[in-house]
Amino acid sequence: MLENDCENATRGKRPLARRLDDLIQPARRWLRRHARHWVAWRARRAALSEPAALADLADPAPIRRWQAALTLGRNPQRSPAAIAALIAALTDPEPFVRWQAADALAKQETSRVFPRLTAALSDHDPLRRAGVAEALGRIGDEAGCMALRPHIADPEPAVRVAVAAALGACGDPTSIPLLSPLLADPDPDVRRAVARSLGCVADPCLAAALAAGLTEPGQPLLVRRALAAAVARAPHPDAQPALLAALTDPDSQVRGYAATALGHAGDESAYGPLAAAQTDRGQLLRGTVGDEARRALKMLERRGRRL
Q: What is the pLDDT of residue 36?
A: 74
Span 202-229, average pLDDT: 96
Q: Name the domain count of the chain.
A: 1
Quick check: is 80 in a domain? no
**How distant is the alpha carbon of residue 163 from its chain centre?**
13
Span 135-163, average pLDDT: 93
Sign of the dihedral defined by the CA atoms of residues 17, 23, 27, 30, in that order: positive
- Name residue 288's beta-bridge partners: 283
Alpha helices (H) in the chain, listed in sequence order: 2-56, 62-72, 80-88, 95-106, 110-120, 126-139, 142-148, 157-170, 176-179, 188-201, 207-212, 221-233, 240-246, 252-265, 271-276, 289-306
Q: What is the pLDDT of residue 39?
A: 62
pLDDT-based confidence at 38, cuts 50/70/90? low
Q: What is the pLDDT of residue 43?
A: 57
Quick check: is 40 in a domain? no
pLDDT at 40 over 70: no
- Name residue 283's beta-bridge partners: 288
**How distant is the alpha carbon of residue 179 from its chain centre?**
17
User: 266 lies in which domain range?
Assistant: 204-307
Q: What is the pLDDT of residue 6?
A: 47
Quick check: is 296 in a domain? yes
Quick check: is 248 in a domain? yes
Q: What is the pLDDT of residue 303?
A: 78
Look at the chain and count its residues: 307
pLDDT-based confidence at 224, cuts 50/70/90? very high
pLDDT at 60 over 90: yes
Quick check: is 306 in a domain? yes
Quick check: is 272 in a domain? yes
Percent of the chain whose pLDDT exceeds 70: 90
Q: In angstroms, rounded to a whole number, what is the distance separating the alpha carbons of residues 279 and 166? A: 40
Q: pLDDT tens, 188-207? A: 999 999 999 999 988 999 99
Q: What is the pLDDT of residue 28?
A: 80
Residue 283 DSSP SS3: strand
Q: Which of 12-21, 23-32, 242-251 has the highest mean pLDDT?
A: 242-251
Quick check: is 126 in a domain? no
Q: Kindly report the average pLDDT of the chain as a whole number.
A: 89
Q: What is the pLDDT of residue 150?
A: 93
Span 237-264, average pLDDT: 97
Q: What is the pLDDT of residue 42?
A: 60
Q: What is the pLDDT of residue 44?
A: 54
Q: pLDDT tens, 255-293? A: 999 999 999 999 999 999 999 999 999 999 999 999 999
Q: What is the pLDDT of residue 25?
A: 81
pLDDT at 21 over 90: no
Span 127-132, average pLDDT: 95
Span 37-43, average pLDDT: 61
Quick check: is 164 in a domain? no
Residue 304: give its domain's CATH number.
Answer: 1.25.10.10
Number of neighbours of residue 2 by Cβ within 10 angstroms: 6
Span 217-221, average pLDDT: 96
Residue that wins the pLDDT comparison between 181 and 46: 181
Residue 1 DSSP SS3: coil
pLDDT at 12 over 80: no
